[in-house]
């Protein structure tokens, strides 16, 4: 015989609650009040646990009509298992008060709105007086006093007055005020742009904007800018000085000289290879192609003084640009390399990767003017240039400390 200590403990939760479905709900029934006279009083709420179908039907048959209606209204509006039409209470049993009349409804709403008391304003409304501070967009501050050149008071028109008085006020008003009124009402199609914005900002109309609806705007007088002078570089003189390795000739600029023959450009590049003092060589917008620019590879590899090379806006191929960047690794003296805006705008992934690795290996480049389409190439090139800037900074700090 098992002792009370040896008996297993009762389950913490009833078996029916363990296997209870998530979507199932407990149905409740209100016990009828007529059964209280039999001596067996039922609880106010009877659950369906342990009840059979006959017991449920017996309870329902003893309920009155009002109790059945209350039972039907006892439901969960958030029950997703019920259709939306059965989640709300039926309130359509009320008899209609009469046929729908729109005019009577609007009249009732208007009368009700007039009889209701308005909200109490802290500052009561007074015609012609502005309540609070007025924000001035020009000065960016709040001011209560009107500034010079602005209207002292806005145009006041009481739309609740009779039409005759309103018509008389508009007929007798000057055209200057009508222009301001049209701007305030948003009638921009009858005003010019300065008149419309002056009316919105509260500024008065003057002779520059016009005070009538036929006002003519003064045209904008463009500022005369002189044309950029032509490039007057003496190419023959530059060729001779480069061949003689002139120490004073450190920059050669033949930008925008499209009429210069290709033979003279080749001769100029060959002469630049003999100079040991040239620092900047610019050939932007000279319509050179690969046949003329191949000499630049020798110039970059042999010139230890060259710092800036500009070949923008020409007809160079991506392959030659990659060779030019690769040639900068020989002396690593180039600081700025510009080669953007060529005929072939798309370089290609393989060419971009080759250029990117050449820039990463170069420790002297600080500025590169090439448009990369690949996000990886742009990111790695920017990081490489940042490292070169950091080397320059550390080198400068080292010189300062040694000094």
* Beta strands 134-136; 141-143: pairing state: antiparallel
pLDDT in tens, 322-343: 999 999 999 999 999 999 999 8
Percent of the chain with pLDDT over 90: 42
Give the model's pLDDT for residue 208.
63
pTM, whole model, 2 decimals? 0.48
Neighbours of 114 (CB within 10 A): 7
Give the model's pLDDT for residue 45.
46
Cα distances from 76 to residues 59, 82, 104, in angstroms, run 22, 9, 39
Cα–Cα distance between 315 and 294 in angstroms, integer?
A: 12
- DSSP letters, 303-338, are -SS--EEE--SS---HHHHHHHHHHHHHH----EEE
Cα–Cα distance between 34 and 341 in angstroms, integer?
A: 98
Q: State whether residue 341 is helix, strand or coil.
A: coil
pLDDT in tens, 81-137: 878 777 777 777 778 778 888 999 999 999 999 998 888 777 777 887 877 777 666
Give the model's pLDDT for residue 96.
76
Query: Helix-strand-coil percent breakdown of the chain, rounded to 5?
Result: 40, 5, 50
| Domains defined along the chain, listed by start | 164-201 (no CATH), 235-397 (3.80.10.10)
Cα–Cα distance between 240 and 275 in angstroms, integer?
A: 11
Give the model's pLDDT for residue 325.
95
Give the model's pLDDT for residue 14.
44
Decide if 365 contacts 337 (C-beta within 8 A). yes
Cα–Cα distance between 323 and 321 in angstroms, integer?
A: 5
Cα–Cα distance between 218 and 343 in angstroms, integer?
A: 44
Q: pLDDT under 50 in the chain at which residues?
A: 1-2, 4, 10-47, 142-144, 146-155
Give the model's pLDDT for residue 237.
94
Residues 6+ apart with CB under 8 A from 378: 372
């Amino acid at each position: 015989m098992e002792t009370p200590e040896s008996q297993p403990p009762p389950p913490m939760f009833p078996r029916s609650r363990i296997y209870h479905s998530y979507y199932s709900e407990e149905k409740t029934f209100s016990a009828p009040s007529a059964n209280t006279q039999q001596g067996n009083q039922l609880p106010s709420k009877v659950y369906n646990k342990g009840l059979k179908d006959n017991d449920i039907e017996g309870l329902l048959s003893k309920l009155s009509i009002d109790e059945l209606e209350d039972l039907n209204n006892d439901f969960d509006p958030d029950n997703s298992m019920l259709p939306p039409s059965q989640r709300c209470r039926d309130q359509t049993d009320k008899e209609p008060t009469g046929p729908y009349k729109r005019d009577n409804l609007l009249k009732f709403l208007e009368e009700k709105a007039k009889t209701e008391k308005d909200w109490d304003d802290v500052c009561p409304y007074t015609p012609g007086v502005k309540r609070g501070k007025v924000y001035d967009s020009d000065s960016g501050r709040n001011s209560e006093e009107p500034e010079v050149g602005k209207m002292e008071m806005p145009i006041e028109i009481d739309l609740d007055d009779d039409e005759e008085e309103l018509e008389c006020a508009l007929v007798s008003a000057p055209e200057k005020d009508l222009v301001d009124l049209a701007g305030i009402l948003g009638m921009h199609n009858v005003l010019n742009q300065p008149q419309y914005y002056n009316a919105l900002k509260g500024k008065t109309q003057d002779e520059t904007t016009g005070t009538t609806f036929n006002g003519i705007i003064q045209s904008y007088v463009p500022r005369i800018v002189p044309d950029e002078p032509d490039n007057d570089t003496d190419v023959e003189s530059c060729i001779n000085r480069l061949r003689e390795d002139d120490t004073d000739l450190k920059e050669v600029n033949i930008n925008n000289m499209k009429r210069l023959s290709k033979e003279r450009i080749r001769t100029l590049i060959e002469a630049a290879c003999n100079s040991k003092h040239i620092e900047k060589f610019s050939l932007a917008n000279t319509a050179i192609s690969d046949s003329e620019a191949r000499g630049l590879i020798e110039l970059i590899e042999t010139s230890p003084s060259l710092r800036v090379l500009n070949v923008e806006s020409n007809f160079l191929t991506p392959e030659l640009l990659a060779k030019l960047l690769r040639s900068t690794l020989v002396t690593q003296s180039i600081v700025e390399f510009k080669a953007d805006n060529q005929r072939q705008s798309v370089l290609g992934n393989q060419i971009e990767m080759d250029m990117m690795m050449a820039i990463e290996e170069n420790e002297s480049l600080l500025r590169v003017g090439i448009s990369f389409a690949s996000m990886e190439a742009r990111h790695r090139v920017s990081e490489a240039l940042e490292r070169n800037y950091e080397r320059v900074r550390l080198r400068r700090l080292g010189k300062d400390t040694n000094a």
